Amino acid sequence: MQNQLSCNQVIALMSFYVEDKLNSRLKEYVDDHLRNCPECRKVYMQSKKIMPHIISLTENLNDSEYQTKQYEDFKLNLSAYIDNELDEHESIRIKKIAISNPLARKDLEDMYTFKRLLHNSFDRTKTEWKNDCSKTVMHKLTDNATAAKKDPLTGIIFGFSALISIIVLGFIAALYF
């Protein structure tokens, strides 16, 4: 029975070996070879170090592709979701995407903020209109009052009479003291 693998064969099997994807017989052959071949053992040690990075890299690639698809799905359904036009199953799906995908979550938040702003500005126009009516009346009243105070002619007359009283008082004072 031939159970000796060549170095090339072991190198070819290395990634499967590291990922533990060989059947038990092949795995034993590689084990045997590695025990006796320092060169291949070195390659094995390096592969073992690198492999987790490679795996996570490919997982991230798959993830981002999956997330992009999810996000497209999410964007297509976002306004319907906000307007409660989705059935229960669909709205749960959109909710799940919003929870797992930060981009989607931000979109949803923005959408809600936007809606709230719209709602607020509508409310504001209603109350502001009421305020404006009372404000206009108040403004007219206060404007009249301040206008009377700030009337330039009134100021001049007041100033002039003050000046005259000082002069008259000074004259009287000069006469009697």
**Residues lying near Zn ion in the complex (CB under 5 A):** 7, 37, 40
Based on CB atoms, which residue is closest to Zn ion, 40 or 98? 40
Q: How far is the CB of 26 from Zn ion (least distance, A)?
A: 15
Based on CB atoms, which residue is closest to Zn ion, 33 or 104? 33
Question: If we measure between CA atoms, which residue out of 43, 24, 23, 31 comes closest to residue 4?
Answer: 31
Could you give the C-alpha distances from 156 to 128, 143, 161, 164, in angstroms and in order?
Answer: 40, 20, 8, 12
Based on CB atoms, which residue is closest to Zn ion, 35 or 106? 35
Q: How far is the CB of 22 from Zn ion (least distance, A)?
A: 16
Q: How far is the CB of 70 from Zn ion (least distance, A)?
A: 45
Based on CB atoms, which residue is closest to Zn ion, 2 or 134? 2
Q: How far is the CB of 33 from Zn ion (least distance, A)?
A: 6
* Tokens standing for residue 94: 């959109």
Under 8 Å between Cβ of 105 and 98: yes
C-alpha–C-alpha distance, residues 74 and 105, integer Å: 10
